Amino acid sequence: MTSQLAQLKAHTTVVADTGDFRLMAQFAPQDATTNPSLILKAVQKPEYAPLLADTVAAHRGVAHADIVDEVLVRFGLEILKVVPGRVSTEVDARLSFDTAATLARARHIMGLYEAAGVPRSRVLIKVAATWEGIQAARVLEAEGIHTNLTLLFAFAQARACADAGVQLISPFVGRIYDWHKKSAGAQWDEAARAGENDPGVQSVARIWRYYKQHGVRTEVMGASFRNVGQITALAGCDLLTISPELLAQLQASEADLPRLLTPPSAVEAPEAPLSEADFRYQLNEDAMATEKLAEGIRLFAADAAKLDALIDALLAGHSTAPTSA
């Protein structure tokens, strides 16, 4: 019999959603993604603490932001020894509303990879899908630096990313599901909203079908899964980035996993690009997307600050991790 993970790989590119490069090897993913929360989680494990300490020690005296980028790239380089494809490395979420600063950090990160001998084709720079982030991605793509637009919850964000010609988007299935479940409260029917009826699954499927229908080359990578049912309902999506825990469940199951997303038979002309005003208004009209985008930036920014504190402690000669507030 064939595992669900093997069946999924026949339809979809499987990506490991973790900073734990030692753990991901057992699932043989094509690509890997990281974010500030995953890197923070990894560096606090005993097996990865020396990697953080060594990287910080080797770059004393340089700007703090540059040390952070060195740490992120160090993990990315280790990940690229495991996966044959690409790694996504994220720009500081605190720059999500600053196009110029996002561009500077993205170029610096890519420069570190290139200095280590990694070609641009193996790196995706992750940027929050704010208007400012999308415009930074437009410039980066024109420079040959490919991007992964993250924290994507609204159809308007997906439209704007397509207009900007970004390489890949990461719509968040689980966080959309979380919002709708919380909003429904006691009225939520888990069985009725599972699988293809899951609001997060529906959001990603709508974006994927729109892209295929209009010949958009941007890749769609579903992200942030809460259960295996959300994953199997998106079999056929371009890519899915999956946590080690859910990868293990897929590997352990031999249940049938058919392809559920199939491209349309005909392709239509692209629609007119969204203006900034249209983008902001449509995003504003989507309460879920507005709330989850703001929350996501805050959470990633908080974890980036915690990583800063770990680095500061090492620079000061202390090895004790700060306690959470």
- How far apart CA 216 and CA 80 sit, in angstroms, is 28
Domain edges within the chain: 4-315
Work out whether the CA dihedral 325, 287, 174, 23 comes out positive or negative: negative
Residue 312, token pair as written in the block: 């500061």
**Per-residue confidence (pLDDT) for residue 324, from 0 to 100:** 37
Whether 126 is catalytic is: yes
Catalytic residue among 126, 181, 212, 306: 126
Question: Strand, coil or helix: what is 18?
Answer: coil
Residue 1, token pair as written in the block: 């019999």
- How far apart CA 180 and CA 315 sit, in angstroms, is 43
| Cβ atoms of residues 30 and 254 within 8 Å | no
The identity of residue 76, as a single letter, is G
Task: Give the CATH number of domain 4-315.
Answer: 3.20.20.70
| Cβ atoms of residues 75 and 39 within 8 Å | yes
Q: What share of the chain is helix, strand, coil (3-state, %, to 5)?
A: 55, 10, 35
Phi, psi (5° rounding) for residue 179?
Answer: -65, -45
| Cβ atoms of residues 136 and 103 within 8 Å | yes
Mean local confidence (pLDDT), 110-137: 98
Question: Strand, coil or helix: what is 323?
Answer: coil
The identity of residue 222, as a single letter, is G
Task: Give Cβ neighbours of residue 27 (< 8 Å, ≥ 6 apart).
Answer: 5, 14, 16, 244, 247, 248, 251
Predicted confidence (pLDDT) per residue in 40-98, tens digit: 999 999 999 999 999 999 999 999 999 999 999 999 999 999 999 999 999 999 999 99
Mean local confidence (pLDDT), 223-243: 98
Q: Which ranges of 81-130 would DSSP assign to H, the alpha helix?
A: 99-115
**Per-residue confidence (pLDDT) for residue 306, from 0 to 100:** 96
Predicted confidence (pLDDT) per residue in 125-145, tens digit: 999 999 999 999 999 999 999
Mean local confidence (pLDDT), 236-256: 97
Closest alpha carbon to 6 in 231, 257, 245: 257
